[in-house]
Amino acid sequence: MIGVVIPAHNEGERIGASLASVLRAAAHPGLAGEPVEVLVVLDSCSDATAAVAERHGVARIAIEARNVGLARATGAGLFVDAGARWLAFTDADTEVSPDWLVRQLAENADAVCGSVGVDDWSAHGADGHLLQEHFSRAYVDADGHRHVHGANLGVSADAYRRAGGFEPLACDEDVMLVRALQASGARIAWSAQPRVTTSARTDARARGGFGDALLAMVGNLAGAVNAREGSRTPPAMQEAPGQA
């Protein structure tokens, strides 16, 4: 059995598309009929997330933690106890490809760290095109990358257990798990084959995660543009340090 864990905090507007994509991946013929169970970990939800998950017929469990590491660990622990052989993780604002699970398993590794793509940058308004261009240049979306994303991560139950599982961290729980997997001698595939598309949202749920990284990138890009524009301004027009 394969277990898919999706942590969610007030994701009623987005999780429907995520669940639909995961259920398509769970029905892929390449899995040869192996059962796939999907669990949404409702972390301090006060919106319609639970109702959307129920409409999609997936399992739910509620916790009150506001901690993505604990949410992922809760779901993973339940699947390990239930006898799952493989654990796959994604996020409520992420859509996975139909062959997502098949591609993870095809790596024949103890763990698979996948890359992410972003199709819609419009949430960043006028900065969207700058961010898209910079992301496409700077982000390595190819086999052999070294990205770690909780939105595209898979691990065997045995390797997960040996590594000690997710730590109860509000951020970087995925990175710390991969480090623990490496320390335990796990075989890790750094693969771009399991495809997911995630959100370029500006209302990130996990502080310090991918959403915040994009916001920081926007700030850096805007600063660089302003610096270039300022360098082309005649000296008499530039403000001296300390001036209002």
Query: What global pTM score does this model have?
Result: 0.86
Q: Regarding the domain delimited by 2-118+144-201, which CATH topology (the fold level of the hierarchy) does it fall under? A: Spore Coat Polysaccharide Biosynthesis Protein SpsA; Chain A (3.90.550)
- Cα distance between residue 96 and residue 100, in whole Å: 6
Average pLDDT rounded to a whole number, residues 202-208: 69
User: Pairing between strand 59-63 and 36-43?
Assistant: parallel
Least confident among 52-61, 136-145, 152-161, 203-212: 203-212
pLDDT in tens, 210-244: 766 666 665 665 454 444 445 443 433 232 223 32
